[in-house]
Structure 1
Amino acid sequence: MIAVLMGGNSAEREVSLISGEAVYQSLIKQKIDCFKFDWQGENLTELWDKTFDLAFIVLHGRGGEDGTIQKQLEARNIAYTGSNSHSSANGMNKYLSKEIWKNSKLPLAPSVLIATKAPTPIINFALPWAVKPVCEGSSIGISKVTQASDLNQALELAWKYDDQVLVEQWIEGDEYTVTILGDTPLSVIKIVTDQDFYNYESKYHSNTTQYLCPCGLSIPKELHLQEIALKAFNAINANGWGRIDFIVGEDNQPYLLEINTVPGMTAHSLVPMAAKSNGINFDQLVKCIIDEI
């Protein structure tokens, strides 16, 4: 029996419910015994009252992607999809994941960490800057700062979501994403948005965002991105499935943005799109994720 864990109480709850429903309907269609469980943050005892031997985690953001639910399942010896609690926590934390990647000599934009109520350190890299909550997903709380005088306003927004904020050099360029399924990188997708960047609106509500697959890169450049993505995935010790996001700058150099250890599974989501381009339909994708446990 599979429990599809969805919802949560993070800022990404709405997306998780849609992702979870899609996974649940796929399992039903495949005649796999399952039930869906809307975790609302305080009702986990209801889950433990049920009988199941595997959890399909489709909880995005805090609680579901940061190792919290994984620790609970590990304590009960219940198998689950995706990365373990430690790798999930490292992947969710943009600062920790970038420290791991830095130690692995992977390509990154310069950044500094700023904690709430702490003195603002000297930022010795050029404007513009991206200001990001350290542990938030779906581009929530992110600002583009083009003048140093606007930094405090951007920090105040980010601090609404986290008490630690990453200030990173803004790289002008094109955004790409690489899905990892098992130990295989799937086709690269190029993301084209009319927004300043690929934000929450352009991810989930815009009808003008374009996803290009084939991505338009030369074969050697696409293979290079896939190679970096797999190295980044393995450096975090991620498992099963995930997605690595990049900016390829105007200097034609790739820069790692972040890892998603529980990516979206909605109609707008990139993992099903990449899978489809590799001849894997949605039902097969769901089964592949389970088989990677």
Structure 2
Amino acid sequence: MNWADERVALLFGGLGSEADVSRDGKQNVAQAMREIGIEPIEIDIKDGLLEPLMAANPTRVFNLVHGRPGEDGVLQGLLCALGIPFTGSGVGASALAFDKPRTKQVWESLGLPTAPMVVVNDLEQADICVKRLGPELFVKPAHEGSSVGAHAVHGANQLKVAIEDALKHDTRVLVEPLLPGPEFTVGVVRGLALPVIGIRPSSEFYDYKAKYQSNETEYHIPSGLSSELEAEAQQLALEASEALGCRTWGRVDFMMDETGHLLLVECNTVPGMGSHSLVPKAARASGMDLPMLIEQILLDAEVSP
């Protein structure tokens, strides 16, 4: 495609907990755009959104805003109202995928494998979690990414501390069994499941530091799974994404349980594009460099409710 007549706004940043992750990825995305003939109009939404967006008058938007309001359907709703084509999932799918408990409820209703859960909104419900799921637990806010507010928990005392911290980030907290792992992830681009990545953090779990700051986290491509489990993970990623109504691109995360089965964890509709990010790694392994990946995502931009 000839991009000379296109005005592409690259939205990033903001004021949320993942704003710096977005800013890190913006550098890579902007450079990749230039390599395919696009001079992006860069807009950090911490400085405002509607006014700079209207001034830019873009023909399409590349959304790289992580968390709120870029992944929860709010930004998508604005762009729909303005009639501006944008990358990634639409309003409904974005809102659903950003709500981790409801995502799991959809998967459960379709028979897709995911761990049991308890959703709490105050400390008094901590005992219920232990009774239903046992003392080894994983706690995270219902609407956050990048492992912000997430905790591995060993026992009731740690659980209350973890819930208290997670409630600083959200009004609802998701509690699940602490799975032994390892963790795997599958990127999805325009209906294609990318190679599975096996993730081996040096810390107890794949937390914010392991994701974005540590050079000790190991990423395995090939993933270390058998060919049968690799194919199963890729198929599950496609089914999980389709179940939520996601489009264009995303990333589906898995944990392995103690019996060796893969369980769906969550779906990310605006994955990272930074130096440690997973979708670019998987795309490279499939023969797709970053400019090719960015172009594929941009080509599928539309006004998507």
TM beyond 0.5: yes
Deviation at 1:120, TM superposition (A): 4.8
Counterpart selection for 2:109 from 103, 123, 139 = 103
Residue 261 (structure 1) aligned with residue 276 (structure 2): no
Q: Distance in 2 between matches of 1:32 and 1:46?
A: 19
After superposition, the C-alpha distances for 1:210-269 in whole angstroms (9 at most, x for unaligned) are 100011111111000111111100000000000000001231111111101000001110
Please say if 1:203 is aligned against 2:211.
Answer: yes
Q: CA deviation at 1:290?
A: 1.0
Q: Deviations over 1:21-80 (max 9, x none)?
A: 211111112212421110017443222222111000011111111111100000011000
Aligned match of 2:137: 129
1:83 aligns with 2:93: no
Task: Work out the CA distance in 2 between the residues paired with 1:177 and 1:46.
Answer: 35
1:133 partner letter: P
Considering Cα pairs closer than 8 Å and 6+ residues apart, tell me whether 1 or 2 has the greater RCO: 2
Within 5 Å, which residues of 2 pair with 1:62-211?
Answer: 62-116=68-122, 119-120=125-126, 122-123=128-129, 124-211=132-219
Query: Are the equivalent residues in 2 in contact too, given 1:114–1:121 (CA < 8 A)?
Result: no
Q: Greater CA deviation, 68-77 or 18-27? A: 18-27
Return the alpha-carbon distance in structure 2 between the equivalents of residues 277 and 204 of structure 1: 20
Instruction: Identify the residue that residue 271 of structure 1 maps to in structure 2.
Output: 279
Structure-2 change in CA distance of 1:69 and 1:204 (3 Å):
same
| Distance across 2 between alignment mates of 1:118 and 1:43 | 40
**Structure 2 match to 1:250:** 258
Question: How well do the aligned residues superpose, as a CA RMSD in angstroms?
Answer: 1.3
Corresponding residue for residue 232 of structure 1 = 240
Mapped to 2, the partners of 1:36 and 1:120 lie a distance apart of: 44
Structure 1 segments of 4 or more deviating over 4 A?
A: 117-121
Once the two structures are superposed, what CA deviation does each residue of 1:158-211 show, in whole Å capped at 9, x if it has no partner?
A: 011101000111111210000001111010000011101000000000010010
Contact 1:173 / 1:247 at 8 angstroms: preserved in 2? yes
Instruction: For 2:147, give the aligned amino acid.
Output: S
8 Å contact from structure 2 (residues 73, 92) kept in 1: yes
TM-score under structure 1 length normalisation: 0.97
User: Is 1:61 matched up with 2:47?
Assistant: no
Displacement, 1:149? 2.2
Unpaired stretches in structure 2, ≥5 consecutive residues = 1-6
Instruction: Report the structure, 1 or 2, having the larger helix content.
Output: 2
Q: How many angstroms apart in 1 are the aligned matches of 2:252 and 2:71?
A: 14
Counterpart AA for 1:209: T
Q: Distance in 2 between matches of 1:48 and 1:30?
A: 24
- 1:39 has 2:45 as partner: yes
Once the two structures are TM-superposed, the CA of residue 291 in structure 1 deviates from its matched residue by 1.7
2:184/2:254 contact within 8 Å kept: yes
- Per the TM alignment, residue 118 of structure 1 is displaced from its structure 2 partner at its CA by 6.8
Identity level (%)? 38
| SS state at 2:70 partner | coil
Instruction: For residue 160 of structure 1, give the secondary structure of its aligned residue in structure 2.
Output: coil
TM-score (norm 2): 0.93
Map residues 7-46 of structure 1 onto 2, 5 A cutoff.
7-40=13-46, 42-46=48-52
Q: Secondary structure of the residue that 1:275 maps to in structure 2?
A: helix
Q: In the TM superposition, what is the alpha-carbon distance from 1:134 to its structure 2 partner?
A: 0.3
Residue aligning to 2:289: 281
Please point out which of 217, 231, 242 is paired with 2:225.
Answer: 217
| Rounded Cα–Cα distance in structure 2 between residues aligned with 1:131 and 1:191 | 19
Whether the 8 Å contact between 1:233 and 1:244 is mirrored in structure 2 is yes
Please give the alpha-carbon distance, in whole angstroms, between the structure 2 residues aligned to 1:206 and 1:87.
32
Distance (whole Å) between structure 2 residues aligned to residue 195 and residue 33 of structure 1: 40
Aligned equivalents of 2:43, 2:58: Cα separation in 1: 11
